[in-house]
Chains A and B, each alone.
Chain A
Amino acid sequence: MNAAANAQSTGYNFAYLDEQTKRMIRRAILKAIAIPGYQVPFASREMPMPYGWGTGGVQVTAAIIGPDDVLKVIDQGSDDTTNAVSIRKFFAKTAGVETTTETKRATIIQTRHRIPERELTAKQTIVFQVPIPEPLRFLEPRETETRKLHALADYGLMHVKLYEDIARHGHIATTYDYPVEVAGRYVMNPSPTPKFDNPKMDMSPALQLFGAGREKRIYAVPPFTKVRSLDFEDHPFKVQTFDTPCALCGVENVYLDEVVLDDRGGRMFVCSDSDFCEERRAEGHRGELSGEEPAFLKTAPAVEGEAT
């Protein structure tokens, strides 16, 4: 999409939110950066989409985005799901910014439940949509109590939960929303990303911002900050592994989605990060199910030249 096609619509302030709201969110973001992993309360606004569809992430993006930014939005790693397309269109319309699906071109990446496979750079900011920001919420429902536990850095409850996992299943069975300790102090919810993505948060060159609209919290991990997944000496943190490479691009050691192919148990595993997979296929990588390269894609002289 080019910028001209995204002519900004009139009747809205730049990036939808009014300036007073942006100032309030910006103040919360600066505090969040200064206190890594601490959830800063903010006066979340009603957005033109339901709670649960990324209202927190959208408000954070709207507060930081400028006319020169290039926005990418992913939902479970994919650029082309309804939520991702809608949010991209929302900002193309209200801010007139350029949008992209390419991770390497984006300056702001808003995400639901994944971190791109390609390593982020210092020029990028990643904005997470967060449903439940409080890691202790399902262990202690009272806000007054969880706030006290954070103040005292008392995270024993969380270790008990992980221990109970081990007692019941023989290993830590938490696979997403896996709690992390940020900069040696606050325990934080990384949003429901698979735990596969937790190591990417550690010492990431990109600024990571988290917005929870319904729960009215903003938090952050500054660049180059220690992010440690909680574990035990005898049960160290481990990420998911996959037995097969991506069926379309053949890559290994990335996060894969399972796709059911038929009603006889046929299934394939493909990259969850659609841009990463497309980029590899464009480079000529082929997977088990990608088939022969279609004739019209072959640049005949070059291929024959290499063959001879």
Chain B
Amino acid sequence: MSAVVSTMDQILGQHRFFADFPPDFAELIAGCARNTHYKPGEYLAHESDRADSFFILSKGKVALEVAVPGKSPVVIATLGAQDVVGVSWLVAPYCWLFDARVMEDMRGISIDAKCLRVKCDADHDLGYEMMKRLLPVLTQRLHATRMQILDVYGKS
């Protein structure tokens, strides 16, 4: 193996979510980020837990699911490489709304939400850059959810 070691801001830059992110900001984010590794069956988060981190996936698969009494949990969506898991960290009261269960060996970056919130509050330009990236994720999820509700393949 070659001994090339990427710095955290370089790793972040390789992710779709941070594409074309200003280098100064990448360094700020890197200060809140760390590499993570979860095995199948582990949970990134549980419903109603404090949302004090969010995840950028580079490998693996994660299910967002909701527990249903007396039944197996309902999966709302599955997320994979290049996806972001978690937006609840951005909105008070900063609590997870779903369980995030690892389906396939997951590698990625976990970002300390509290750390990032403080930095975004201090530097609104950074905050705006983050919002520009998170809002499309939210609208896409919303749109996909609407289409799920439509039940387009349903029996008529």
A complexed with B = no
B residues at A contact (CB < 8 Å): none
A residues at B contact (CB < 8 Å): none
